[in-house]
Structures are given as C-alpha cells and as structure tokens.
Amino acid sequence: MILEQKKKAFEFIDFHKNEMLALWEELVNTESGARDKESVDNLAVKLKNIIENIGMNTKIVEYKNAGNSIVAEFGTDRRKKGIVFSGHMDTVFKKDTAKNNPFRIENGKAYGPGVLDMKGGIVIALYAIKALNSVGYNERPIKLIISGDEETGHSNNPAGAELFINEAKGFTAAFNFETGFTDNGIIVGRKGVAQYTLEVEGVSAHAGNAPEKGRSAIEEIAHKVLDIQNLTNWEEGINFNAGTIQGGTVSNAIPDYAKVEIDVRYTKVSKKAEITKSLEEIAAKTYVEGTKTKLTVKNFMYPMETTDGVMNLFELAKNTSIEIGFGEVYPKTTGGGSDASNTVIAGVPTICAVGVKGEWNHTSREYAEVESLFERTKFVIACVMNLKDDLV
C-alpha cells in the first residue's frame, strides 16, 4: 500500500516539474531581503495565497521590527502526531539584486538570489504536501512554519524564534528545508551563535605633555581580549572570537575609547547563561584603573542539539534514501545556525538542510542543482510515509 502510494506521489512530482520550476522562478525573482521588511511582507502575502490554494489553513504572523512569518496547517483532525515543515523566505540580499542576477538555469544549475537559501526549499515543502494530498495521504497533520527574519538570526525579534518553539510543540518530527549539501550530508547539529560588543571608556591625554593623566582604553581592552580568547573550550564545544577591534584616534594621544566585537559558537543550549556570565565577569574586571567597560548582547541564536530523537529521525531518512535509490546520506554538523535549533528545543526530532542542494549561498555565485528539487521532494514524501512515532 505504502509502496504504491509512494510510486504515485513520485509520478505526481514528475508530472509537475515545470510547475515547480515556475514557482521557484517566481519566488527567487520576488525579492525578500531580510533587512527590507516591506519586500518580505510582500512575499508573505504572495505565499499565503499559494499555500491557501493547496487547501491549508494559513495565517501571517505580523511583527513590527522584522519580516512577517507564515504558519499554515493541514489535516488537523488526523489521528496521529503531526509533522512540521519549516524554513524561511527572507534572503541576505540587498534590494534589486535579482535585477542583475535573475533566476535562470544553465547546465542543470539554477541561479539567483536565494535560489538555494532557501526558496527551492519552499517549493519542495509545498509540492511534497501537494503530492501527499494527491495520493490520499491522511495519517498525520502537517504544519508549515516559514520565517521572515531568519537571516538576521531573529536579532530584532526574539518572537520570530519563539514562534518555532511554540508552534512545533507536541509534533512527532520536523524537516527544515534549509540549504542542502551537494555531498548528501544531512544536518543533525548546528552550533549556536552569541554575539556581543565590549566597549571600554578611558581618559584621553596628550602622549607627550601629560601621559600620566591618561587612562588607556586600548591597554585595558588588550588584557580583556586575551581573557576572552582564553575562554575557548574545545572539549566543551565553545569557542570565543574577538573578531573586530577599534580604538584610539591618533598615535600621540592616550586613547579614551576601544571596542571589540565578539562572536561565540557553542553546542549546548544549557550553556547560554554561562557564556554571558563569563563575559560579564571579564567586563567587571579592571586592569587599568579609571577605565570603564560595557558589555552589550547583540545577537543570540541557540544551537541545534544532536539529540537521540534527531539521530533516530536521521536513521529513518538514511534508510529511506537508500530504499528509494537516492544513495546514502550522512550526518553532518555545521557552525551556522537555523531554526532547526528551535524545533529541537520544542522537543521535536528534526533534520535540517533537506532543501535543494548547491553551493555558495549568501554570495552572487549561489546556485542549486535543478534535479535536486525533484529528488528532495520525493525524499521528503517517502520520509513522511515511513515515519513512526518511536523517534524519541
């Protein structure tokens, strides 16, 4: 029965290839730069109409300081626990990027801003749902969560991250259609990101006339940069990086200001408080009497933890991929964040990067393999049909 259903669903995809490509083109050419709320909101309205046409109950979640998000549901009366399809519709690109780099296909590769990250993934999610519907799949409800401010790490809008945690709770599995990898890796873990600025205020003075009256902000921050770097703990999967440094005005003045920007990557959700605390302790110390230090949290993204549930879902995906002839997938971890972290926090086994496969996302060279659009849609359909409730 399932075999027959899979075959029919795959035929549905083969039959709708041109339609899928047309939607991909439309989504790529409809720009949605993360820092341009108006364009993201415009795409959200367009997508809402498309998703409603599939028969899903769809709502736009509005935000003041960030692009709006979409939540859509289907089959809420189905008896088994539901599945989450997730991702984002914003891109990192500036306005008018698509004018010079519009969607196009050359030698089996599709190009354009967001073609890989992750407008192809949205097409996959929608056509997986359409194909499942077309073959009468009615086992589990499906919920679609599409963020409009993922590329900024929800930094202006913590509610954008919480949306995933709240909406995913109680579901049995989640698939995130982020940027797929050409080597068939499936993401089972992502590092969390925490970013801070540390600013030191000193006292300026002429370096020749009255150096003893000065309090060097650079001297103070130099000590602190070393303290920060020393917090790195490879065994615990936490690394600190003082990535930029600024300070002073001219060489013959004692500098009264210095600043470092700090990026922290970590693997355990529970470490969040500890990381901030360790930096606060450094900020509170004084090496150069008379200087003052201020620490500001800029951005916080949780890690995607590799839980047992995540690995069980991965195993199912691996077996499914082999079963349907798409070769072996392997478990991959990466430093970059995604909302898969939030569905895992919700207690939902999640695999990430099941979108179209390609390279160079976030650059003008971004491309995706066209064939992977159809392959990955079939892969997800088969995973959904093979799902059991024993993942956790």
- Residues lying near Zn ion in the complex (CB under 5 A): 117-118, 178
Q: How far apart are CB 349 and Zn ion at their closest, in Å?
A: 20
User: With respect to Zn ion, which residue has the nearer C-beta, 223 or 362?
Assistant: 362
Q: How far apart are CB 178 and Zn ion at their closest, in Å?
A: 5
What is the secondary structure of 183-237 as a DSSP string? T-EEEEEE-EEEEEEEEEE-B-EETTT-GGG-B-HHHHHHHHHHHHHTT-BTTTT
- The answer, yes or no, to whether the previous bond of 311 is cis (omega within 30 of 0) is no
Q: How far apart are CB 154 and Zn ion at their closest, in Å?
A: 13
User: With respect to Zn ion, which residue has the nearer C-beta, 215 or 357?
Assistant: 357
User: With respect to Zn ion, which residue has the nearer C-beta, 215 or 376?
Assistant: 376
For residues 303 and 337, what is the distance between their CA atoms, to the nearest angstrom? 7
Q: How far apart are CB 118 and Zn ion at their closest, in Å?
A: 5
Q: Residue 224 burial by CB count (10 A; 0-12/13-18/19+): exposed, middle or buried?
A: buried
For residues 168 and 304, what is the distance between their CA atoms, to the nearest angstrom? 14
Q: How far apart are CB 159 and Zn ion at their closest, in Å?
A: 19
User: With respect to Zn ion, which residue has the nearer C-beta, 13 or 356?
Assistant: 356
Q: How far apart are CB 180 and Zn ion at their closest, in Å?
A: 11
For residues 199 and 256, what is the distance between their CA atoms, to the nearest angstrom? 11
User: With respect to Zn ion, which residue has the nearer C-beta, 149 or 178?
Assistant: 178
Residue of 354, 345, 347, 343 lying closest to 317 (CA atoms): 354
For residues 41 and 27, what is the distance between their CA atoms, to the nearest angstrom? 13
Residue nearest to Zn ion (CB): 117
* CA distance from start to end of the chain: 26
User: With respect to Zn ion, which residue has the nearer C-beta, 34 or 348?
Assistant: 34
